[in-house]
């Protein structure tokens, strides 16, 4: 991975000041707008940003998370999408690729529908269609409802497997980058997702879409990824070993999938825009430094 230092900037969009980071790319890849998970600060995506060094990566802290002051009033997903669009306007980006993880995956869906002309490709990781999702294990969801895992890294490491269904590969580095959200910021994020669903507009999404789902996800079970992919025209579902934080624990396997999807030429895409492409299941080794994963038979 290349060591890249992001440029940080506070950007005002409406009544909110949003701490924003841009990792400047060293190539000509299309910029990637990243929507983070609930309570997650910008620094947590540093390994991904360093791996995708050929393109600009844009990320921001939600209100009350990381370095962004908490919002005065609750907000809805359509308002959060407008915040992201305001950031792109201020930074001078028009069309981008978009990626969202977990809660951020829901916001990425909203953004892709609301600002369709600005989205070229869409990646949805460990996420669901919102209200109609199949819930995860109660023990994991109970711990997810409180931001304690961000406030106490030892607590997060102790319950890592229960929370995320992952091995602890990369967990210590993840814990060191944590920055606790405010209670109000975390609560407003939870509130934003209540009652929201993307089901009515998923069939109308236009970007080529990659859905990534963890085989052992304790928070957003695999069936939710299948449901998303079945409703989004021309989407592809990749099932990866690991749980909710497979971007951390299985980075060596997942990042090549992301890079290949973003770099594919449209004429060489393995599916038609009008048809669901089905799914692929990858079985890679858990040992660091091993070869590329193989599609399962």
Residue 34 pairs in a beta bridge with 59, 99
Residue tagged active-site, from 68, 102, 198, 249: 102
Query: CA distances (Å), 290 to each of 8, 165, 239, in order?
Result: 35, 22, 19
SS3 of residue 90 by DSSP: helix
| Closest by Cα among 110, 126, 129, 151 to 230 | 129
Cα–Cα distances in Å, from 297 out to 66, 117, 225? 43, 38, 20
Other CB atoms within 10 Å distance of the CB of residue 151: 16
Burial class (CB in 10 A: 0-12, 13-18, 19+), 207: buried
User: What sections of 177-237 are H helices per DSSP?
Assistant: 183-193, 222-231
The vertex-8 CA angle with 6 and 13, nearest 5°, equals 135
Give yes or no: 128 in active site: no
The closest of 27, 24, 22 to 11, measured between CA atoms, is 22
Which residues are part of the catalytic machinery?
Answer: 102
């Amino acid at each position: 991975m290349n060591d890249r230092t992001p440029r940080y900037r506070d950007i005002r969009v409406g009544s909110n000041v949003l701490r924003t980071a841009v990792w400047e790319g060293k190539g000509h890849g299309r910029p990637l707008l990243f929507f983070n998970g609930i309570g997650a600060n910008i620094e947590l995506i540093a390994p991904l940003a360093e791996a995708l060094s050929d393109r600009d990566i844009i990320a921001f802290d939600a209100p009350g998370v990381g370095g962004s002051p908490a919002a005065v009033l609750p907000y809805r997903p359509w308002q959060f999408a407008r915040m992201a669009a305001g950031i792109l306007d201020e930074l001078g980006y028009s069309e981008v690729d978009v990626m969202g993880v977990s809660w951020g995956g829901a916001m990425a869906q909203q953004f892709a529908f609301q600002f369709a002309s600005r989205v070229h490709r869409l990646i949805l990781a460990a996420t669901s269609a919102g209200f109609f999702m199949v819930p995860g294990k109660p023990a994991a969801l109970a711990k997810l409802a409180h931001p304690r895992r961000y406030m106490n890294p030892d607590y997060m490491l102790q319950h890592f497997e229960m929370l995320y269904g992952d091995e602890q590969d990369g967990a210590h580095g993840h814990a060191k980058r944590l920055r606790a959200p405010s209670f109000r910021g975390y609560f407003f994020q939870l509130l934003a997702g209540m009652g929201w669903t993307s089901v009515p507009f998923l069939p109308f999404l236009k970007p080529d879409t990659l859905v990534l789902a963890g085989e052992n996800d304790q928070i957003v079970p695999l069936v939710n990824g299948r449901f998303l992919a079945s409703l989004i025209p021309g989407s592809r579902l990749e099932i990866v070993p690991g749980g909710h934080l497979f971007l951390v624990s299985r980075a060596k396997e997942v990042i090549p999938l992301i890079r290949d999807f973003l770099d594919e030429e449209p004429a060489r895409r393995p599916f038609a825009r009008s048809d669901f492409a089905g799914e692929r299941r990858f079985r890679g080794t858990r040992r660091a430094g091993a070869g590329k994963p193989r599609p399962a038979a």
